[in-house]
Amino acid sequence: DIAPGAGNALDAIRGTRDFIAGAASETWGYSQEYLGPLLRFRRGRIANISVTNRLDEPITAHWHGMHVPGYLDGGPQLAFGPGETWAPELPIDHPAATLFYHSHIHGRTGPQVYRGLAGMIIIDDPGIKDPLPHDYGVNDFPLIVQDRRFDRSGRMIYGLGMMDRMHGFRGDQILVNGVVRPKLTVPAGLVRLRILNASNARVYDFRFTDGRQFHQVASDGGLLDRPLAMASLQLDGAERAEIVVDFSDRSPVSLVSRDIGMGGMMNGGMMGDGGGSMMMGDRGMMGDRGRMGDRGMMMGMGGNSGTPLEIMSFDVGEAAPAGPTRLPTSLPSDAPALGDPVRRRDFTLNMHTRGMMRGGMMGGDGQMMGINGEPYVMDRIDETIRAGETELWRINTDMMMRHTFHVHGTSFRVVRQNGRPVDSARIGWKDVVRVQGPTEILLRFDKLASEETPFMYHCHILEHEDVGMMGQFTVT
Ligand code: C2O
Ligand code: CU
Ligand code: CU
C-alpha cells in the first residue's frame, strides 16, 4: 500500500515470476516484479507520485478513471524514456471508487500492460460514512483479473497472430493479483470484492459455483445508489465492479466465469439485437470449442466453451471481528445531475481500410482500425470540447464484433443501448461501456486538457487501441 499524500515512488522494473511452478516468466512491474502496488488516495488530498522508468523503452502511468487534468493524466503524450522520472502532483477530486492505473504508450499499451505495467487505485472519501465492509485485507479485497497464455514450458507469452489482432489477445489461464487460480480465506460474513478486469481483451461473466446471489455496490466511477442483487456479472476490459458477498454459511465456493470466446464477442449488428450472446452463446450456432476451436476459422466465429473458466476459490474462516452484518438499503453515491445535452457527437468504431491495404492486418504494425474512419494520430486533435457543457455521445460500430468505449477525464452515464433506454442508476458512473450496437452516453467535463496533453477516447481492447482505434480531444 502507498499512504495517501506521502511522497510515493514507483519504479518501473523488470522481474521474473514463476506463474507456473518451475517456469520463470519475464515480467514487468511498478516497484514489484509483476503489476504495481495498490495505490490508495483520499479525496481532498494531493498525491505526490514519482514514477521512474528503469526499463529500456518509453512508458507512461495513466490513472484510468480518475478525474485529473490532461497534463496529469498519463496519456501517450506524457511518455517518459529509460532513466527518466515523471512526478505528477495529483489533486484527488474523485468520489470513493476503485480505479485502474497502467501504461499508455501509443502502439505498445497491449504488450506493456500484459507484461505487468498495471495496478489498482482505491479512492476513499472522508466525507462519507462507508456503510460497506472496508477493512482492507480483512473483509475488503482487491481482485485484479487477467488472462494469460503460457507456452509448453510454462512461460508467459504474448505474440499476435491474425486472430489476436482482429479480436484482441486472449489467454486460457486466469491470474488474480498475479497468481494462477489463488485460494483466498475470507471471514464468515459480508465481504467486499473489488473486481478489476485488467485483461487486454477478455470479457468475463462471473458467478459462484453454487449459484449464490451477491450484490453489486459500485461500478467504474463509484458507489451505486443502492446494492443490486445478482447471480452473475459481466465485465468487459477495464471495467470495475465492487460486489458484496455473504460468506456467513461458511461453505467453500469458487468464482468462475463463462468462457466467452470469440462467438460471444460477435455483436448484434447482423444477428439481431443482442444476438452476440444469444445466438452465439454457450450452445450457440457455431458449437463449442471442441468443434470449432477457440481460435476458430471464418473470422473467429468460434463459439463459447461450455466449460467455465476457474478464477479463484474461497475458504471461509472465523467471522470478522468488526464490520457490517447487513447491507444498507441505499448507498452514499455521488450523483451530480448532468441536465440536458447541448450537443451530440457520433463515433463509429471501424476498420481503417487504407491501413489494411498497407498490410497492417496481415502482420505489419500499421494502423488498421480507427474511429470515424481515421486511425489515431498523435498530433491530430479530433474533438474540441467546452468544459461544463453536457453532451450526448452516440457510439456505434460497423464491425461484426463487440468493442468497448473508454473516455478519459470524466465519468459518464449510459442512457441507451442497442436502441433501448437503460436504467442509468443501475449501471452507475462509468468510464468504459460495452459497444455491441448504438450506445448513448451523457457526459460533461470539468477537468481541462490542452492540445499538448489531450484526453483520449478509445476501445479498451488493447490490441484495437494499439492499431488505431483511439481519438483525442481538448477540453477548454
Ligand atoms: Cu485504461 Cu486510455 O485507458
Ligand atoms: Cu483511461
Ligand atoms: Cu475494439
CA dihedral 78, 79, 83, 87 (to 10 degrees): 20
pLDDT in tens, 19-59: 999 999 999 999 999 999 999 999 999 999 999 999 999 99
The number of beta carbons lying within 10 Å of the beta carbon of residue 139 is 24
**Distance spanning both ends of the chain, measured CA to CA:** 35
Percent of the chain clearing pLDDT 70 (strictly above): 86
pLDDT in tens, 216-253: 999 999 999 999 999 999 999 999 999 999 999 999 99
* Residue-level pLDDT at 357: 58
Please tell me the CATH superfamily of domain 140-260+304-319, with its number: Cupredoxins -  blue copper proteins (2.60.40.420)
User: Do 103 and 60 form a contact (C-beta atoms < 8 A)?
Assistant: yes
Helices (H), 295-371: 297-300, 353-357
Q: Which of 71, 58, 150 is nearest to 104 (CA)?
A: 58
* Residue-level pLDDT at 77: 98
Q: How many angstroms separate the CA atoms of 398 and 363, rounded?
A: 23
Ligand 1, CB cutoff 6 Å, lining residues: 62, 64, 100, 102, 104, 238, 406, 408, 456, 458, 460
CATH annotation of 7-124 = 2.60.40.420
Cα(67) to centroid(ligand 2), Å? 10
ipTM of the complex, rounded to two decimals: 0.99
- Residue with CA nearest ligand 1 atom 3: 64
pTM: 0.91
Domain boundaries, the chain: 7-124, 140-260+304-319, 343-475
Q: Which atom of ligand 1 is nearest to the CA of 100?
A: 1
Whether residue 294 is predicted with pLDDT greater than 50 in this model: the reply is no
Whether residue 5 is predicted with pLDDT greater than 50 in this model: the reply is no
Q: Which atom of ligand 1 is nearest to the CA of 470?
A: 2
Q: How many angstroms separate the CA atoms of 379 and 108, rounded?
A: 17
Helix (H, G, I), strand (E, B) or coil at 411: coil
Burial-class residue 103 by CB neighbours within 10 Å (0-12, 13-18, 19+): buried
pLDDT in tens, 399-443: 889 999 999 999 999 999 998 999 999 999 999 999 999 999 999
- Residue with CA nearest ligand 1 atom 2: 456
Please tell me the CATH superfamily of domain 343-475, with its number: Cupredoxins -  blue copper proteins (2.60.40.420)
Domains 140-260+304-319 and 343-475 agree in fold = yes
Whether residue 4 is predicted with pLDDT greater than 70 in this model: the reply is no
Whether residue 290 is predicted with pLDDT greater than 50 in this model: the reply is no
Question: For the chain, what is the mean pLDDT?
Answer: 88
Residue type, position 404, single letter? T
> In Å, what is the CA distance from 138 to each residue of 219, 252, 402?
21, 17, 37
At residue 319, what are phi and psi to the nearest 5 degrees?
Answer: -65, 150
Q: How many angstroms separate the CA atoms of 419 and 461, rounded?
A: 23
pLDDT in tens, 109-163: 999 999 999 999 999 999 999 999 999 999 999 999 999 999 999 999 999 888 8
> In Å, what is the CA distance from 186 to each residue of 64, 190, 191, 318?
28, 9, 7, 8
Q: Which atom of ligand 1 is nearest to the CA of 75?
A: 2
Whether residue 209 is predicted with pLDDT greater than 70 in this model: the reply is yes
